Structure 1
Amino acid sequence: MVPNQMVRMNQGQGETSYTRNSSIQNAQQNRMKPLIEAAIVDFCSSSINTGSLFPRKMLIADLGCSSGPNALALVSIALEAIHNHCLQLQQTPPEVCLLLNDLPENDFNTVVKNLVTLRQSNKPLVMIGVTPGSFYERLFTSGSLHLVCSSSSLQWLSKAPEHLTRNQIPAYDIDEHARRERLPIVLEAYAQQFREDFTLFLQLRAKELVSGGRMVLSLIGRPSYIIDSEFFHLWEIVAQILSVMASEGVIDKANFDSFYVPLYGPSCKELREIIQEEGSFSIREMREQDPTTDYDNAFMTPSRFLNHLRAIFEPIIVQHFGEVMDEFARTAERRWSVEGSMQDERARNPRVMLVVSLAKA
């Protein structure tokens, strides 16, 4: 199942690259550290308690690893946790295989270059591999994985909701009245697509994980205090900028109406319900975290925030509209030129990071 839009971050080392604009994602990965460490200890302890030997090998996968400085963060945390746990128990470290996954368009060349440093560490590392492909399809052999990690990736859907694309219902209408009228339809379509995709993700990983295998996942969601009728797009700020460009004739309105970003932020309640209904995993821990505590003052400036948006959304915008990013930047700067307007806009679009630790039932 391949997404019908180019879902990848901006490549390279430039000012608007993901490499130079991913500090917030890195902070979220660091917040996952205690859950990954606990998952490692719990899995190893469970093996011993059920009469098995201490694991002799472990396969660990990061799904949606992207590129840049964050690509190895989660697997490095897991590797360190295994090393420390073995030292504490005076056990021989298991052989470890690290597997990195993202879509084929990902900048795997940069990732592979960074792997050299990791292989030179003194940790119990044997093999590293990359696995291009969508995590909404089978990626690994049955019963082979011991730990799956994923950060800031599962909010991306396999595709835009078919009900909207098939019936040509804009995801974000320029006219505010029409947008509010269509809101329930748009919400239900995106929520249903996320439910289908995340259910499939759980089913696939349940086949690939060993008995008692663990998953630690984080994704962007919406705060629990926001009710369904107040639904917002994770990409609403981008949509607002593009809607101004459409109203001014910079981009074609019909083209704007057919722009669907395959991105959805669930609530904590939604996530819990899907996991419980699918039934392959038990929830060990679930957290709702405020990502704004990871922002520094520099991130609050319009230029820095604009680079952050471009690092994430530029490939999918350019694929749909062509080379419009210079005008996109000018429109955003003009929109935010009023003092406090950018902060106000971001305050109207609150986000949370949902973090969940799962054990295969």
Structure 2
Amino acid sequence: MASEQMVHMSQGQGETSYARNSSFQKAEQNRMKSLIEAVIAELCGSRSTLLTGKIVIADLGCSSGPNALALVSTAINAIHSQCVHLQQPPPEVCVLLNDLPDNDFNTVVKSLVTLRQSKDPVVLTGVIPGSFYERLFTSDSLHLVCASNSLQWLSKAPEDLTRNHIPVFDTDEHVRRERFPLVREAYAHQFRNDFTLFLELRAKELVSGGRMVISLVGTCSDVIASKFFLFPGIVAQILSAMVAEGAIDKAKFDSFYVPVHGPSGEEVREIIEEEGSFSIREMRAHDPTTEMNTALSTPRKFVNNLRALFEPIIVQHFGDIMDEFVRTAELHWSLDPDGSLQEERTRTSRAMLVVSLAKLH
């Protein structure tokens, strides 16, 4: 099933909503700030020929809550500061926010009012529902594209696995370990296809010399980690425990695929260079352990973060099992008899990848 049909963060403003459980994502957006400011300085520079009195900025995968406007607000503030510094009138700014149709756009639209109240620069806004694995904007219309914490989500689960009914996370540990390289390769192949398509589409929509600043959850290197990608791996462990208890059907569990892949920096660089539409201006990788440990520091935070990210996917596949899922997750946290959760958190070679790209002429 294509991820665009099921992937969205938990809506609203409640305790388990994405809006209330996205501190980790906010910390990562803050790390993108300097790159966005550098891009704006180039776009608005005194010798820049890219702008003709206007700048169009798109945030792809904006989600909802306090983080939805973070990247575009950084860009708008940078535009204002740059124009004051150069003593030139600011361009008109058009801000376009994109996410999948099931995103909580009601909350997003209300928050856009604050941007539209800006007088200097003039800010116009719009919402574009749809998958960023399809065309979203007219050709040569965008100056800056941002995407934060979203490109690790795939367009769909790998067909090599779904077509051949190969479970991602077998309840038998020996089988799971033997199958892991096959599973990871299938996910890496799907990511390569999706990310290549993403670059091709954005190259059509950006003006010549336009810029992109993207971040995604990945891994430190091409060395295959001994455990699965952190959050889906934890969810799979919890669901596996529920299978053992008879709370969910094993066949149903075996057909559950989370469309997420954490690429290495080498994977990302190789795909960008092979696709050929962009040059890499800067690429950073850092260990998000501190922010992640804060987000998962108590049983309540742990469960709420999992629900904010995965509840819609879980409920769509298994039905309303969240009460049992919460109970099992809390038990998983409090007992953790074999240290599997702690091992998952310490041995997964996770990294946050941030890349600044320029469209080639």
Range of TM-score over shorter length: over 0.9
- Say yes or no: does 1:242 pair with 2:209: no
Within 2, Cα distance between the matches of 1:208 and 1:230? 39
Q: Which amino acid aligns with 1:18?
A: Y
- Report the equivalent of 1:357: 356
Alpha-carbon distance, 1:294 to partner = 2.8
- Report the equivalent of 1:48: 47
Structure 1 segments unaligned to the other structure (5+ residues): none
Structure 2 segments unaligned to the other structure (5+ residues): none
Aligned CA distance change for structure 1 residues 164 and 182 (closer, same or farther; 3 Å): same
Aligned length: 357
- Report the equivalent of 1:215: 212
1:325-352 alpha-carbon deviations (Å, 9 max, x no partner): 1111111111222379454442233421
Aligned CA distance change for structure 1 residues 53 and 138 (closer, same or farther; 3 Å): closer
- Say yes or no: does 1:305 pair with 2:302: yes
- Report the equivalent of 1:163: 160
> What is the TM-score of this pair, normalised by structure 1?
0.94
- Report the equivalent of 1:6: 6
Alpha-carbon distance, 1:123 to partner = 3.4
Aligned CA distance change for structure 1 residues 4 and 203 (closer, same or farther; 3 Å): closer
Which residues of 2 match residues 1-361 of structure 1 at below 5 A? 3=3, 5-45=5-45, 48=47, 52=49, 55-224=52-221, 227-228=223-224, 230=226, 232-234=228-230, 235-295=232-292, 297=294, 299-338=296-335, 341=339, 342-361=341-360
Q: Which amino acid aligns with 1:19?
A: A
Aligned CA distance change for structure 1 residues 254 and 53 (closer, same or farther; 3 Å): closer
Within 2, Cα distance between the matches of 1:116 and 1:4? 27
Q: 2:226·2:348 contact (CA, 8 Å) conserved in 1? A: no
Q: Which amino acid aligns with 1:233?
A: F
Q: 2:169·2:254 contact (CA, 8 Å) conserved in 1? A: yes
Q: Which amino acid aligns with 1:198?
A: F
Q: 2:40·2:79 contact (CA, 8 Å) conserved in 1? A: yes
Q: Which amino acid aligns with 1:74?
A: L
1:272-303 alpha-carbon deviations (Å, 9 max, x no partner): 00000101000000000222233575741121
Q: Which amino acid aligns with 2:350?
A: R
RMSD: 1.9
Q: Which amino acid aligns with 1:166?
A: R
> What is the TM-score of this pair, normalised by structure 2?
0.94
Q: 2:227·2:347 contact (CA, 8 Å) conserved in 1? A: no
Within 2, Cα distance between the matches of 1:344 and 1:3? 29
Structure 1 residue ranges (4+ consecutive) displaced by more than 6 angstroms after TM superposition: none
Q: 1:160·1:260 contact (CA, 8 Å) conserved in 2? A: yes
Aligned CA distance change for structure 1 residues 282 and 313 (closer, same or farther; 3 Å): same
Aligned CA distance change for structure 1 residues 59 and 247 (closer, same or farther; 3 Å): same
1:293-331 alpha-carbon deviations (Å, 9 max, x no partner): 335757411211111111000000000001111111111
1:155 aligns to what SS in structure 2?
Answer: coil
Deviates more, 1:325-334 or 1:120-129: 120-129
Alpha-carbon distance, 1:117 to partner = 1.4
Q: Which amino acid aligns with 1:232?
A: F
1:129-153 alpha-carbon deviations (Å, 9 max, x no partner): 0000000000000000000000000
